A and B are shown apart, each in its own frame.
Chain A
Amino acid sequence: MASTRTKNRRAAMALSVVVAAMVGLAFASVPLYKLFCQVTGYGGTPKIKVAAGDSASTRQIEVRFDANVNKGMPWHFKPAQVHVTVKLGEPKLAFYRARNDSDETITGTAVFNVTPYKVGPYFSKIDCFCFTEQTLKPGQEVDMPVEFFVDPEIYTDPNTKDVHAITLSYTFYRSEPEDSDKKAETAARPVDGKSNIKG
């Protein structure tokens, strides 16, 4: 029979492990949160897919485009089209126009989400300027593409079948360029999608 002293020490050890585990859980929440949103589409996190399926359908949906720049980002950034109507499953290309209105070269990264949030799992971006940084020289203006499709499953899911309009929204932030000689890149090679953590 262990003495009270020993029992106390053992109990304190066990409880300390619990404390450490909870701290670990707090830090683990960072990647878990990101992963959870990417996998489930929670919080309006679109899917980053490589190709559309063959399940095109005749049903249509309106997709709207929204653009923002954060404070301290002197770019003019607007969608080239306010909205388009797309067939479900059909890949569509849309453009955003960005112009560096300042007198210095500026690099930006874009974060994004879709609304309403519940359509996140059904909105896929095949190709997007947001996957890489963009650098614009003073006065330079570019058209930036985003290729996407809306999964026809959106209308079979009872949760989302009442949605007739999806809004895709970007916010450009100023960032430090990885390579200071980087030129404007608008072709996106999907690396690890630089998606914003949303949840």
Chain B
Amino acid sequence: MAHAEAHHDDHHHPGFFTRWFCSTNHKDIGTLYLWVAMFAAIVGGLMSWYIRAELAEPGLQLISNDAEGKQFYNVLVTGHGFIMVFFVVMPAMIGGFGNWFVPLMIGAPDMAFPRMNNISFWLLAAGFALLLTAAFIDGGPGTGWTVYPPLSSIDFHPGRAVDFGILSLHVAGASSILGAINFIVTIFNMRAPGMTIHRMPLFVWAILVTAFLLLLALPVLAGGLTMLLTDRNFGTAFFNPAEGGDPVLWQHLFWFFGHPEVYIIIIPAFGIISQIVSTFSKKPVFGYLGMAYAMAAIGVVGFVVWAHHMYTIGFNVDTRAYFTAATMVIAVPTGVKIFSWLATMWGGSIKFEVPMMYALAFIFLFVVGGVTGVTLANASADLVFHDTYYVVAHFHYVMGLAAILAMFAGWYYWIGKMTGRRYPEGLARVQFWFFVIGVNVLFFPQHFSGLAGMPRRIPDYPDAYAPFNYISSVGALITAIGTLLFFVVLWRTYTSSEKVEANQWGEGATTLEWTVASPAPWHTHEELPDMTGKAPAE
């Protein structure tokens, strides 16, 4: 962590409570986000391991064969989804790495609104607490993270569980909206002299695009959530057909947010991978402008494809045709990115350090997840895939594999900068292999289960689906070991006496964070670095 090394700071050190509960320091806040993300990952992971343990064999082994047991299963499924999306990936990549490295990379001393930054963090923590509360009261929300009414309405989910879930998302959403404003203003207004928009590192571009997506998508979720809340508690009928409402309206509002949300998840990962591939190939990223604008294009087009999550609700065939075409369009800028990373490595001088291993795994596994997305983009193909394990396999490949691998890549890449300590090399490689093999054994067979017709969100399945479910659960076990190993690596890193130098990675590490000491001093760039005259990124 950013131990405020005494010899560099002019400032009086705040006490523990002030430093960690009233922080206005982007590094400390980034650290807080990373800790919450790791804690949430354990909670979300435990939920998923429970699910996989239940699904390892046909029949109900862990949950009781009654309404209470089955509701608990649905709550696990719901909780796992919400936690991983809202309280693991987003906090780690945007709140954690974003906060830590955007100011460092653009030469700013801190974020534009340091106090609002702190509010964002504590709102997130509160949102997480509310979600956990929701899971434990009145039977919990057994609606899936998609919360479709009428199942989520008061008639079919009486009690306060869904309401607490709604509140949790409102609070977490507010956290992200404020964070998005903070990032946009910081990136636009606080770049060091000479750091033009087209000289910013691609990670900063990624956070900028992500921040705009958050700004535009989260308020729509907030609107929809408020409507659901008033339908449940104040007699409105937005989604109640009995009084002129329409359950499908919720789906439009949710997915208008929900699709950009998945790009919010992956675009920061793209940014991290660009930094790492460039560093360990000792080459600048191929086609910088193409990479930056590809992310922007993915973000923009990501707003007009939402109904590919709704292909089977029964809407006009021409509209389905449009969404099929629009969704497939996104494959083009995404392909540009994949090929650009490969072209970055081509001609490079590649060092296979652990962050680079994770980045390579990301590139390959993201392509695997991406091509199944092309299948799902087709409304006619979706007739056999909607709500099956094929969809589960697809989104876990792009989120559960790719995004998480990018998070690990970023952790290994930047942990030296954040703590000044070196991670244990051998153990890190073992951890890599356990995790990567584990998640592939876990999720690849799910493609087959889905192709064969196994639906999602069921605690028990017809016997024919048993073999691949068993293998998938074995994969979950291997992944769990890989996760445990990560925490061992974490602990060994923190307790290591090996220090790292300011630039741990050598000539390939060309961004500004490598010009400050490791660990980064509590205050950096108090004198703005002068980037004028520096060679343009292009």
Contacts and interface: CB of A to CB of B under 8 A. Distances in A.
Direct touch of chains A and B (CB < 8 A): yes
Contacts of A159: 318
A19 B217 CA distance: 9
A180 B243 CA distance: 18
B241 A196 contact: yes
Interface in B198-251: 215-220, 222-224, 227, 238, 241-246, 248-249
Given A30-B227, A33-B252, A197 B246 contact: yes
Interface in A7-26: 7-8, 11-12, 15-16, 18-20, 22-23, 25-26
Contacts of B244: 111, 194, 196-197
B314 interface: yes
Contacts of A12: 112-113, 181, 185
Nearest to A173: B242
Given A4-B189, A8-B112, A175-B242, A19 B316 contact: no
Nearest to B224: A26
B294 interface: no
A57 interface: no
Contact of B316 (A4, A42, A70, A111): A42
B187 to A, nearest CB: 10
A25 to B, nearest CB: 7
Contacts of A109: 242-243
B184 interface: yes
Interface string A156-193: 00010000000000010111000000000000000000
Given A8-B189, A19-B177, A197-B244, A26 B184 contact: no
B507 to A, nearest CB: 33
A117 interface: yes
Interface string A19-49: 1101101110110010000000011000000
A30 B112 CA distance: 36
Contact of A111 (B181, B219, B241): B241
A121 to B, nearest CB: 11
Interface string B242-277: 111110110011000000000000000000000000
Given A19-B215, A111-B244, A173-B241, A118 B223 contact: no
Given A12-B113, A30-B227, A22 B219 contact: yes
Interface string B94-116: 00000000000000000011000
Nearest to A28: B223
Contacts of B216: 18, 22
A29 B252 contact: yes
Contacts of A125: none
Contacts, number: 103
Contact of B189 (A7, A19, A199): A7
A111 B241 CA distance: 7
B317 interface: yes
B190 interface: yes
B314 A117 contact: yes
B113 A26 contact: no
B188 interface: yes
Contacts of B113: 8, 12
Nearest to B314: A117
A43 to B, nearest CB: 6
A27 to B, nearest CB: 5
Interface in A80-102: none
Given A171-B241, A173-B241, A199 B252 contact: yes
A42 B219 CA distance: 26
A137 B253 CA distance: 40
A23 B253 CA distance: 11
B346 interface: no
A107 to B, nearest CB: 12
Looking at A15, A25, A109, A199, the one whose CB has the most chain B CB atoms below 10 A away is: A15
Interface in B36-52: none
Contacts of A27: 223, 227
Contacts of B224: 26
B447 to A, nearest CB: 32
B185 A26 contact: no
A8 B116 CA distance: 13
B138 to A, nearest CB: 22
Interface in B309-332: 314-318
B238 A30 contact: yes
Given A26-B222, A42-B316, A117-B314, A197 B112 contact: no
Contacts of B219: 19-20, 22-23, 25-26
A29 B184 contact: no
B246 A198 contact: yes
A174 B112 CA distance: 55
12 contacts: A4-B189, A4-B190, A8-B112, A15-B185, A22-B217, A23-B223, A25-B219, A26-B223, A171-B241, A196-B241, A199-B246, A199-B248
Given A25-B219, A117-B315, A196-B246, 16 more contacts: A8-B185, A8-B189, A11-B112, A12-B112, A12-B185, A15-B181, A19-B218, A22-B223, A26-B222, A26-B224, A29-B253, A33-B249, A117-B314, A118-B316, A159-B318, A199-B246
Interface of B: 112-113, 177, 180-181, 184-185, 188-190, 215-220, 222-224, 227, 238, 241-246, 248-249, 252-253, 314-318
User: Which 6 pairs across A and B sit closest by C-beta, in order of nearness?
Assistant: A26-B223, A22-B219, A173-B242, A197-B246, A23-B219, A11-B185
